[in-house]
Amino acid sequence: MRFSKNKISEPEINLIPFIDVLLVILIFLMLSTTYSKLTELDLTLPSANSAPHKEKNNQINLLITADGKFYVRGAPVASKDVDSLSKALKDASQGLDNPLIVISADAQTTHQSVVQALEAAQRNSLHQITFATQTQSANKAPSK
C-alpha cells in the first residue's frame, strides 16, 4: 500500500492588501499636508504696491530673518558672514542657467544683512536680484 507523504506548502505573503493600505495613507498625507513657502520662519516683509512675483525654475530664495540669519532655499547658512553666504549661494546656483536671487528680508532686519546678501551674490556673479515684498493692503489693519 502506498501512503502519500504530506506535502508541506510554503506560506505565501499576499502584498495586495499591504499596497492598498499604503496608497490610502499616501493619499491621506497628500491631502492633509499644507504647502507654504515661509511657514518655518516668521517674516514680516516690507510693503509695496507691486504686482505679485511668479516663481521661476531658476529661482534661488534667500531669506533674511529679523536677527540677521540667512536661509538659502530653506536651509540655514552656517554663520552670518559673507563667506558662508557666498558658499551657500554658489552651491545653490550650481547647474542653474542665469539664476534669479529672490531676497525675502524681514522688515526689521538690519541694512547690513541685506548688503551682505548683495555682496555674496556679487562674489558669485549672480546679477539678477529681486526683493520680495507684500502688498500694502495685506499690511493694513481692518477698520472698525
- pLDDT of 25 over the 90 cut: yes
Give the model's pLDDT for residue 144.
Answer: 41
What is the pairing mode between strands 75-76 and 128-131? unpaired
Q: How far is CA 26 from CA 20, 35, 36, 124, in A?
A: 10, 16, 19, 40
CA torsion angle 123 128 110 113 (round to 10) = -20
pLDDT in tens, 30-71: 888 766 554 556 666 666 665 555 666 788 999 999 888 999
Query: Taking a C-beta distance cutoff of 8 angstroms, is the pair 57, 50 a contact?
Result: no
How far, in Å, CA of 70 to CA of 140, rounded?
Answer: 27
